[in-house]
């Protein structure tokens, strides 16, 4: 290839690589093909599997309107032959060549007397064809012309593949958005519709327990216990959904984490005692004050302590600590229970995710507790994470900013 043509091709490739808009990119390739190969016109055709034809997606401006929507058959056309065989086609003359599709000439009012076609290939598969029509100067196409067109074809192929990926991403995004909307509507409707009947069931069951004889207490206790569990599930669903949709708000107040930790630990003492688990707290000096809503922080901590007690066998230990670190209060819930497998550790905060293990699945649940805890903490611009060894216990850490305006500095705090 002559040096000036090589330099020109490299300049074109560099310029085209900086173009971002799909249609203008392909049009530039067609324009450059005409200039570099010195042909009357050029075009790019894309294969349409739904019609088994090739359609024009780039052409000279004066022919664009005529060619828009024209379908070139795979059988009986030069472009179709090139696409089907996935190899270049050179026609120094179209006379008596049955592969020339004359209907395009009739539409544009032109006459094709020579043609060079190159397939648009990506990873070995054909996507379409680029054609150079009518070499100027009454001369034949050369090997240099073929090399230039193949280079431009490679760039067009990449652009087509990138557009396909973008369309797939957009379709997936739209589908996900639709599913998220349905999920949100379902959770909102379910939460609203279940709250009233659950409240009535709990109220009447509790009232009846005070009236009936002791022989019915076990049955009523079963109703109350399961209705309470269902109510907790509904509230957990609503809490996470409100956070993810942005509907949840935090009423900022001063919260004593020292007092809150003591209250939560005390609320689980009886449950831990019945199970034979030693539940204790260790709280640093001072009130350990943070800004936030005590009720929401308590929900998060309660889920962590409840899980620690549930997943620690009789004779085990659960320790809840709270201490001040620069700008933050750090709370840890540490147990020597069953632990979490390493493969599950990154997903335990996902909604509905449950660790698939004989050590944990027997305890039931819907996989909501940790996602609720994460939502409550992140609403306070805090962080929550877990460290665990299967069979060796777990440590959950909450980091809450003393002042929410300082929360952006959380990333600078070392996790220890």
In degrees to the nearest 10, what's the CA dihedral of 280, 286, 289, 295? 30
Average of per-residue pLDDT across 184-205? 74
* CA atoms of 52 and 74, how far apart (whole Å): 7
pLDDT of 258 over the 80 cut? yes
pLDDT of 354 over the 70 cut? no
DSSP 19: -
Q: Where are the domains of the chain?
A: 3-170, 177-245, 253-412
Residue 155: what pLDDT? 87
Average of per-residue pLDDT across 124-143? 92
Residue 21: what pLDDT? 77
More confident residue, 20 or 308: 308
* CA atoms of 332 and 400, how far apart (whole Å): 11
Which segments of 100-142 does DSSP mark as H helices, in order? 103-108
Tokens of 97: 């060549």
More confident residue, 366 or 158: 158
pLDDT of 318 over the 90 cut? yes
In sequence order, what are the residues at sequence separation of 6 or more whose Cβ sits closer than 8 angstroms to the Cβ of residue 369?
A: 236, 303, 306, 307
Q: What percent of the chain has pLDDT over 70?
A: 80
Average pLDDT of the residues of the chain: 83
User: Hey, is 387 helix, strand or coil?
Assistant: strand
* CA atoms of 194 and 232, how far apart (whole Å): 11
pLDDT bucket at 360, cuts 50 / 70 / 90: very low
Residue 129's φ and ψ, nearest 5 degrees, are -145, 145
* CA atoms of 102 and 265, how far apart (whole Å): 85
Q: Which residues on adjacent β-strands are paired with residue 385? A: 397
Whether residue 12 contacts residue 31, with contact meaning beta carbons closer than 8 Å, is answered with: no
Class of the domain covering 3-170: alpha beta
Burial call 75-97: b when 16+ CB within 10 Å, e when fewer? eebbbbbbbeeeebbbbeebeee
pLDDT bucket at 256, cuts 50 / 70 / 90: very high
Least Cα distance to 45 among 162, 142, 169, 29 occurs for 29
* CA atoms of 89 and 155, how far apart (whole Å): 19
Which segments of 53-142 does DSSP mark as H helices, in order? 61-67, 78-85, 103-108
Tokens of 25: 């990119």
Give strand ranges (E) for 341-412. 383-389, 393-401
* CA atoms of 176 and 174, how far apart (whole Å): 5
CATH second-level architecture of 253-412?
A: 2-Layer Sandwich (3.30)
pLDDT of 366 over the 50 cut? no
More confident residue, 138 or 4: 138
In sequence order, what are the residues at sequence separation of 6 or more whose Cβ sits closer than 8 angstroms to the Cβ of residue 258?
A: 283, 284, 286, 287, 288, 322
Q: What is the DSSP string of 312-359?
A: S-TT-EEEEEEEEETTEEEEEEEE-SS---HHHHTTTTSTT-----TT
Q: In the chain, what's the furthest Cα-to-Cα distance?
A: 110
User: Hey, is 224 helix, strand or coil?
Assistant: helix
């Amino acid at each position: 290839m002559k040096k000036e043509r090589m330099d020109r091709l490299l300049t074109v490739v560099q310029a085209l690589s900086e173009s971002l808009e799909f249609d203008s990119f392909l049009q530039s390739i067609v324009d450059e093909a005409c200039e570099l190969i010195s042909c009357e016109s050029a075009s790019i055709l894309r294969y349409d599997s739904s019609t088994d034809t090739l359609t024009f997606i780039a052409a000279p401006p004066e022919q664009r309107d005529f060619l828009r929507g024209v379908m070139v058959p795979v059988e009986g056309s030069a472009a179709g032959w090139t696409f089907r065989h996935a190899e270049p086609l050179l026609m120094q003359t179209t006379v008596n060549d049955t592969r020339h599709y004359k209907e395009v000439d009739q539409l544009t009012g032109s006459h094709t007397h020579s043609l060079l076609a190159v397939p648009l290939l990506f990873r070995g598969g054909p996507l379409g064809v680029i054609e150079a029509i009518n070499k100027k100067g009454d001369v034949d196409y050369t090997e240099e012309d073929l090399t230039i067109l193949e280079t431009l074809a490679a760039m067009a192929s990449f652009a087509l593949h990138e557009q396909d990926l973008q369309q797939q991403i957009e379709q997936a995004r739209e589908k996900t958005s639709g599913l998220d909307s349905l999920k949100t509507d379902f959770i909102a409707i379910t939460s609203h519709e279940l709250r009233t009947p659950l409240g009535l069931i709990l109220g009447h069951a509790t009232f009846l327990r005070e009236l009936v004889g002791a022989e019915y207490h076990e049955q009523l206790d079963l109703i109350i216990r399961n209705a309470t569990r269902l109510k907790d599930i509904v509230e957990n669903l609503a809490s996470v959904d409100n956070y993810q949709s942005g509907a949840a708000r935090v009423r900022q107040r001063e919260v004593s984490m020292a007092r809150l930790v003591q209250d939560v630990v005390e609320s689980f003492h009886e449950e831990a005692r019945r199970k034979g688990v030693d539940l204790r707290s260790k709280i640093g000096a001072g009130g350990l004050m943070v800004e936030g809503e005590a009720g929401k922080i308590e929900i998060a901590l309660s889920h962590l302590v409840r899980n620690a007690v549930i997943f620690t066998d009789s004779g085990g230990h659960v320790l809840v600590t709270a201490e001040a670190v620069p700008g933050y209060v750090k709370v840890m819930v540490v147990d020597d229970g069953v632990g979490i497998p390493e493969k599950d550790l990154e997903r335990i905060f996902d909604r509905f995710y449950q660790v698939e293990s004989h050590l944990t699945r027997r305890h039931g649940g819907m996989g909501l507790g940790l996602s609720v805890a994460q939502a409550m903490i992140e609403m306070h611009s805090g962080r929550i994470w877990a460290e665990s060894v299967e069979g060796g216990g777990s440590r959950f850490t909450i980091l809450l900013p003393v002042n929410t305006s300082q929360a952006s500095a959380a990333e600078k705090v070392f996790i220890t």
